[in-house]
Amino acid sequence: MKEVTEDSSWNLYWTDLSISIERAKDMKRYQKVNHFPGMTEICRKDLLARNLNRMLKLFPKDYNFFPKTWCFPADHGDAIAYSKIRRAKTYIIKPDTGCQGRGIYLTKNLKDIKPSERMICQVYISKPYLIDGYKFDLRIYTLITSCDPLRIYVYNDGLARFATSRYKEPTGHNTSNVFMHLTNYAVNKHSRMYIVDEEIGSKRSIIISKISTLLKWLRVNNINVDELWNKIDEIIIKTILAAQPVLKHSYRTCFSTHDRTNACFELLGFDILLDWKLRPYLLEVNHSPSFHTDAQIDKDVKESLLNDTFEMLNLQQCDKKKIIEEDRRRVRDRLLQGVILKDFSSNNDNTMIGLLKSEKNEQDYIERQFKWEDDHVGNFRRIYPSIGDDKYQQFFKQNGTTVFQETAASRAREEASKVHKEENEIKIKEQENKRTNGKSYEQKPIPESPNVRQKNNNNKRLENKSFTYFKNIIPQRPLPKNSNKVLSSFEPEIISESEERERITALAQRDFLLRSYGILEQIYMAMKQNGTLRDKDVKKYGVYGRLALKNEKNLFPQKVHRSACQEAMLNHHNHHNCHERRLNHCS
């Protein structure tokens, strides 16, 4: 393998970011990428929590392998209610899309958390299993070579990551000690107590095929290691099955033409924590686990992991030149589709034979690939499909409606969180206004009826302040005095005499301005020059043309101006007298 640019005809695209739909659709049939579209369903902390909570409602006895989790701000109220009942619990707060331990902290009081923040809240496992008095977790590497049909492999080697301070149950004084409560390598490598040693160090191997220090400890303490690994394997399978409908649908949509090779594979890092009863809990799933080799133990584990992964992928199975030639022939056949359709009836049998051959070739490819994986498994072990996997068939029955119903519910939670956030912002602004003004006053509810009168002028002044504050948020429309009567837009309202006078005066003033500045004459002449006037328009509005000619020749300008003014005032006077007579008649 050699590194090339994106413009070249590459075989493998390796990225630490999630694959976009555009990238997936532009891929050729011989190309692979190291992520499945839709894998964020279990690799993002918030989506993992929602999917596992959804599966917990469907299968409560099978999906109880993760700590109780809430997504803030949508589930903030549920978490607060839970904390009031169980006051002794400690909670760990994480960013919804964070990594490497950034932004993680412990708290015993959820009221200290801002309700508008996007965070993940989990019940902290306060009694973990300890080795030499230190808390640790397990990094389990999992390879998915196909999502339809699903094939999952687990690497027999991994890393046990230890905290660097001796563990004590969280209290109000030690919750800020990240070297005691967090096992992330990115956090503990900055501790002065970090030890680099394969036997007693802060990072140790968990080789299953050999006797590692971790397995020695477990067997010395009479712990059934095989049963423990079976439980961890079940957690990995059930977690992936929670996202399998989305993975399958996304893959079929994006890679409908990949018939010679699997377009995607995924190398995941599962973080597992053991409690004091040796019950495994899933903490999170990493879609781009670190492959840095800061120590010799990293180099030993991760280099062999990547070598075995590339061996299983079988990148040389595709004949790139042959596939490129087939794609060109397909394009040529589509362009000549009209010519081919004429002879379709005569070649119908040949077409059906060709389709059957292509289906058989695809099935043969799948069988060959699966046989290749079994023969080149290396240090991996296949956990699905395997003997006794019938117990997982019930989890495939989570139909698409369940997923989409949960999606609709998540949208509703998002809307509720937005409303909650806006209410909190209003309260914060209100408190700031109180501090800046130096006056504290009590806001009273806005009266629904305008007939309610204030008895005290001081209270009225305070009500006006609060009313103007809320007026900017919810505009109020005053109701008529007779509020019992239902208003209808189809009934004419009573004409106010003063408003009618103002309207007539304004109309007369507008008419006076139009005539005095000769605007009508200019419009008439412009339309006449453009040829947009009809014969009946010339007969009806010809007077404006004659007035315009008089203005151009400067004949009696004062007389024209005076006659126009007099005519406007006369029309206004007659109109006003007529309106007064009409009002008297009505009364």
* Burial classification of residue 290, based on how many CB atoms lie within 10 Å of its CB (0-12 exposed, 13-18 middle, 19 or more buried): middle
* Cβ atoms of residues 192 and 176 within 8 Å: no
Looking at residue 347, its pLDDT comes to 54
Q: Which residues contact 163 (CB under 8 A, 6 or more apart)?
A: 134, 135, 136, 179, 180, 181, 182, 183, 188, 202
* Cβ atoms of residues 80 and 88 within 8 Å: no
95 pairs with which residues across the strands? Answer: 119
Looking at residue 587, its pLDDT comes to 47
Looking at residue 50, its pLDDT comes to 93
How confident is the chain (587 residues) per 10-residue block, as mean pLDDT? 87 89 83 92 93 94 94 90 91 82 86 84 94 92 93 94 93 87 89 84 76 77 89 96 92 82 92 94 93 89 94 81 74 66 51 52 76 92 90 79 51 70 80 68 46 47 46 47 52 78 90 83 85 82 77 53 49 51 49
155 pairs with which residues across the strands? Answer: 380
Question: For residue 137, what are its two tokens?
Answer: 């977790």
Looking at residue 472, its pLDDT comes to 47
d(CA 462, CA 187): 54
Looking at residue 538, its pLDDT comes to 82
The residue written with tokens 């018939």 in the block is 259
Residue 187: closest CA among 103, 82, 66: 103
Looking at residue 288, its pLDDT comes to 92
Looking at residue 111, its pLDDT comes to 84
358-365 long-range contacts (CB < 8 A, ≥24 apart) are 358/259, 361/259, 362/259, 365/259, 365/260, 365/261
Looking at residue 426, its pLDDT comes to 84
Give the pTM: 0.66
Looking at residue 7, its pLDDT comes to 83
152: three-class secondary structure by DSSP: strand
274: three-class secondary structure by DSSP: strand
Looking at residue 475, its pLDDT comes to 47
